[in-house]
Amino acid sequence: MSVLARLSLANRGLVGLLSLVVLGFGVLMLPSIKQQLFPSIELPAAVVVAQYPGASPDLVDSQVAEPIQSAVRGVDGVEQVLTRSSESAATVQVMFVYGTDLDAAVAQVQQAVNRLQPRLPEGVEPTVAQGGTDDIPVIALAATSGDDDIATAARLRAEVVPELEAIPGVREATVSGERDRTITVTVDYARLGAARVDPQALTAALTSAGAVVPAGTVPDGDKTLSVQVGTPVGSVDDLRNLPVGPVKLGDVATVESAPAPATAINRTDGRDTLGLSVTMTADGNAVEISDAVRDRLGDLGEAAGSTLTVVFDQGPEVEKAISGLTTEGLLGLLFAVVVILLFLMSLRSTLVTAVSIPLSVVVALIALYTGDLSLNLLTLGALTIAVGRVVDDSIVVLENVKRHLGYGEDKQRAVLDGVREVAGAVTASTLTTVAVFLPIAFVGGIAGELFGPFSITVTVALLASLLVSLTIVPVLAFWFLRRPAVPTDPEAAERELQAVLEKEKRSPLQRAYVPVLRFATTRRWVTLLIALLIFGGTLGLAGSLETNFIDQSGGTALQGSQKTPPGTSLAARDEAARKVEAVLDDTDEVETYQVTIGGGGGFFGFGGGGDTTLRATVREGTDLEALQDRLTERIKGVEGTGEVTFGAAAAGFGSDSIDVLVTAPDEEALRAATDQVRQAVTGTPGVGEVTDDLGVSAPRVQVTVDRAAASARGLSGQAVGQFAAQALRGVPVTRLPVDGEPQQVVLRTGTAPTDVDALRALPLPGGATLGQVASVSVVDGPVQVRRTAGARSNTVSAKATGSDLGAVTAELTSRLDALDLAAGASYSIGGVSADQAETFADLGLAMLAAIAIVFLIMVATFRSLVQPLILLVSIPFAATGAIGLLLLTGTPLGLPALIGMLMLVGIVVTNAIVLIDLVNQYRREGMPVREAVVEGGRRRLRPILMTAAATIFALLPMALGITGEGAFIGKPLAIVVIGGLISSTLLTLVLVPTLYSMVEGRKERRAAKREQRPAEEREPVSA
């Protein structure tokens, strides 16, 4: 690799110019890099949602959910199918294996649903959706709707949506929450009977109303004209005049166009509102979109005649995170430069070394731009971590060049010899650090999605730093480093060189280190015993570590839910929600709040379930956990609020939920198994808020038709159900373009019954009542029916109240394993516990793969199998400092900390490579093993300490969480790397030379014996 230095020195002007061009290009394209809070994550799932109005959960399950799950189960790449059947709706979640071609898989799901469509109940039209984090709105607005939400929605679509969609980077702006306008046809069966019109004829007339039939074509001279037959219905009056047998529709029914009854209520800061969400394109910039929307807010609200309020905005969070991490990165850069300056005691040398930082970072930013990756918490954290590591190669190169200049060598020779001596070592050390990120490409799940861009960023920055150290640093060293004055007399020059070497040996660092190294290489078994004791202590400390998945991300978003007893009416839920709103309104930390009653929602069709959703934006700097505890206590004191729970990390990746999925062949076995599992979960220490849906039931009215009684009155069971549906909710019969907009036509019968007795008295055609042809009773039924892979299932959910998720999961698993579940029943742990177990296993394998790759690189570097094994000893001792610092700071071992451990595999062997490479050079020159080890350790002490200290101090701001931004990911990672570097550096300087001297010393003694034997054989024997 030293050939790069020779080429660079031969073309110094070109190298300098190219460096300036790269820096200039980086500065110009930096504003064009898209900014997000997290990397774009495409969920390996699709969801099928089907509405079945008026149907009970078990009916929805048998007639809609089960057929859909059977149809989609055979799609390629499907890992699991989950169904949830609730009142009037089915949700089928199709989970794919990571790495599946989602576009093709979702297309197959859509085809399967389309084939099934004719066999589903009439009116059930499933929709298939698939999305990822890019589908989360970049900004969500609430628009006051006043008394007419339909008119407000029309104004928003006409005045606001086009303006928002014109903003660069905006993909779509959508209005939600308004009611549809419907045409209600209320039939008077007495008039219908008097006119002798069959009720079925009425339905047929409405279904065919306004139908236009393409009849074909007709010639007209030299033209051919298409023929369409039919009379469009353009107004309510047209519908009233629709002929139904001998009469008009208006003679036997009232026909009115009005907003449909509300099924959901949305309020913001106590006022009725509509939702307005803005999503961005793949290359959109969340900060720029947020600023543009906020700048237009006043004018847009005035144009629409509505007050627009921001209820969710990624922009400020992204901007704050980027600003905070940039600050930590710049502070790290400053600390690293100061460390280098203190070691080198030369401003010129420090600047030459530090130039690798901006160049490497700019190259990494260019890679983000060209790879269509965003600047987010993960990639910014990667750049901050890279700041300390990218100077390592330049430090080693420059320190060696400076040493050669100090020996009085010619400047060009000093630069070339200095680079040549360490080129192989810095190349191998950088490649080992880069290689550890290769296995992350094969890690699935959230870890792979989150840390894929992180790995790319660090890899590019490190490779750039290697290139800078072998090309630009030699040129800058040639230009800016001064050669000390050297006497012309050879003897004087030699005395000057010896004086420099003696001064170097008398430095405080070497006077402290060399005696320790001599002791370690002399008392090797003592050194080895101490190392083993340290390693044993490390294993003991590891058992004390708390574990989690990802820490809570903080922020200013507070989310909660309100549960009311099953069967509670929308009006009663509204009243309960208003009581919670009063508490939120009276809380100083809450800046704005929003409640959504009904709807079931949930991002991408997941979650929901009909609870009232509470969202609030709180003041900057608020302790979310303390606030949620205070709100929970205050709301508990308010009567009639139901069960209200808050979660502080509603918008983050952190989670504390533990789910136990219970499956069984039938409901009876499922209920028994669920009770057993729930008791086990409740009795587990560190677990709270245990819930399950199976134990919850909702009252419903069961109408059982007496076929004989109905038949005697000329009615069938289906007809009775049809007439009951018309009276209760109305039956959609067609959709017509009335008054310029498509409207649903709903067939109703009189006034809807207000209670069960009124339902029994519901009049039917022929003079009978519903109670005369059917039994009407109130029964209990499930709130929802869940299935997993076709089997009945239920989820027992709980919250981990402590920070040690691993210990809680282990205890829970032990208790569950001891259960004797009902026949055919089984359980599996899900939620964040399953995510943690899967990710830890994947990263464990990735760590083993990384060690193997590092070993191969070192074998290629040293052309030896034994020496790389000696260097690998650094890796377990890196865990000593990492685990110790995690315990000292009270930081759990989670996903970010494991990524830090993975990084350490590559980082800690770099110092050992640089050390052993020089020792091998001395041995090739004929130096004995012990002298080569001591001399190599002495010469490499300063660059090893410099590189370790620069990395440690560069990561210090992130480890301390100075700005607090991205601390839930960056802080554990930085703590692990700092702790691991401290312990591994100290042990590398002592233990690696000791092991090397033991192994190579034994080889040297064997070689000496082999040489001695032939010499003895050649000696003459006296007669």
Q: Output the furthest CA–CA distance in the chain (Å, rounded).
A: 149
| 3-class DSSP state of 465 | helix
Average pLDDT of span 79-85? 88
Predicted local confidence at residue 1017, as pLDDT: 57
pLDDT at 604 over 70: no
- Residues 981, 882: contact at Cβ < 8 Å? no
Predicted local confidence at residue 849, as pLDDT: 85
Element (H, E) at 99: none
3-state helix, strand, coil in the chain (%, to 5): 55, 20, 25
Predicted local confidence at residue 506, as pLDDT: 66
In angstroms, how far is CA 480 from the centroid of its own chain? 47
- Residues 918, 993: contact at Cβ < 8 Å? no
Predicted local confidence at residue 48, as pLDDT: 92
Burial track 468-483 (b if 16+ CB lie within 10 A, e otherwise): bbbbbbbbbbbeebee
* pLDDT one-digit tens code per residue, 820-872: 887 788 888 876 666 667 777 777 888 888 888 888 888 888 888 888 888 88
CA–CA dist 228, 362 (Å, integer)? 66
Please state the length of the chain: 1023
Listed in sequence order, the residues at least 6 apart from 174 whose beta carbon sits closer than 8 Å to its beta carbon are: 161, 276, 277
**Encoded tokens for 663:** 């499956």
Angle at 882 between CA 878 and CA 887, to 5 degrees: 150
- Residues 718, 693: contact at Cβ < 8 Å? no
- Residues 139, 313: contact at Cβ < 8 Å? yes
| Rg from Cα positions in the chain | 37
Average pLDDT of span 73-101? 86
Listed in sequence order, the residues at least 6 apart from 1007 whose beta carbon sits closer than 8 Å to its beta carbon are: none
What percentage of residues in the chain have a pLDDT greater than 90?
Answer: 6
In angstroms, how far is CA 946 from the centroid of its own chain? 36
Q: Please return the burial class of 540, using the count of CB atoms within 10 Å of its CB with bins 0-12, 13-18 and 19+.
A: exposed
CA–CA dist 346, 337 (Å, integer)? 11
Q: What is the mean pLDDT of the chain?
A: 82
Average pLDDT of span 777-785? 82
* pLDDT one-digit tens code per residue, 127-164: 998 877 777 888 989 998 877 888 888 899 999 999 99
DSSP 62: I
Predicted local confidence at residue 111, as pLDDT: 92
CA–CA dist 507, 675 (Å, integer)? 72
Interhelix angle for 12-29 vs 356-370, to 10°? 50
pLDDT at 510 over 80: no
Angle at 182 between CA 179 and CA 184, to 5 degrees: 135
- Residues 446, 832: contact at Cβ < 8 Å? no
